[in-house]
Structure 1
Amino acid sequence: MKLILCATALIGFFSVVLGAAGDHLLVGDWSAAMVERFDVALRYHQNYSIVLLAVALYGMTRAVPSRILIVAACLFLVGTLIFCGTLYASLYWQAAGLTLGTPLGGLSLMAGWLSLFLYAIRAAR
């Protein structure tokens, strides 16, 4: 979980950097659709930074974190990188085709939530 927490810190840091860059440097030359795509990427980026932080900190309170909790954290991490990364990349290179990978990130995020649900069911027993 320490590795997840380190990755979470970097993801959170870059969400602030990209948010500031988008607000001050990038959006002036973008169309409304591009600004909307950036806003979606940034919103998910920042929200999942918080989700990952909560899961990582919770996992660190356990003597031995459950494998399913680690899987959930990894799915959230990978999903955030793919979902947001493909949206950011499509804007940077101005290639809308790069967003074809975005649904994979979304599926990973959904799988993370289902994994967290399974963890909660097992922990309740």
Structure 2
Amino acid sequence: MTARLILQLAALLGALGVGIGAFGAHGLRAMLEATGRFDTFETAVRYQFYHTLALLAVGVLLHVRPDLRLLGTTAGLWVGGILIFSGSLYVLCFTGIKWLGAVTPLGGLLFIAGWIALLLAARQL
């Protein structure tokens, strides 16, 4: 993954995080609270933002140090984690499809793998 693509994905995922978070907190709060899923929704938004901000930093670092190829791997793992972890929680919140709870930990594993890839990349500094 290139620095440009990583930064573009960070911008997109950041904008989506703000939009989804605001829509859920204001437009859907009553529905999410009635189903007991407001905390789940907040977790999805929070993890999306944590990893979007980390993705932004990785994109900048990769721009400065394009030789650290593991940073592209880190970014890919985190994007996958956002899609699977946060995405499955969003779908669960809005549809009530409970089997998605079994998919969510896979996104968490991608987040962890991304942090390990970052550790390995940092060893090359």
Question: 1:32: Cα distance to partner?
Answer: 6.5
Distance 1:77 1:58 in 2: 17
Match of 2:62 among 38, 59, 80: 59
C-alpha contact (below 8 Å) 2:68/2:124 kept by paired residues: no
Q: Which residue of 2 aligns with 1:39?
A: 42
Letter of the 2:7 counterpart:
L
Is 1:97 matched with 2:99? Answer: yes
Q: Which residue of 1 aligns with 2:14?
A: 12
* TM-score, normalising length: structure 2: 0.91
Match of 2:31 among 14, 29, 47: 29
Tell me the percent identity. 37
Match of 1:122 among 98, 121, 124: 124
Alignment deviations for residues 50-91 of structure 1 (CA, whole Å, 9 cap, x no partner): 1111111111112x3422111011111111111100000111
Mark the CA change 1:78 to 1:65 in structure 2 (over 3 Å): closer, same or farther: farther
Alignment deviations for residues 9-30 of structure 1 (CA, whole Å, 9 cap, x no partner): 1100000001110111111122
Unaligned runs of 5+ in 1: none
* TM-score, normalising length: structure 1: 0.91
Q: State the 4+ residue runs in structure 1 displaced beyond 6 angstroms.
A: none
Distance 1:90 1:32 in 2: 11
Unaligned runs of 5+ in 2: none
Secondary structure of the residue that 2:51 maps to in structure 1? helix
**1:62-101 alignment to 2 at 5 Å?**
62=65, 64-101=66-103
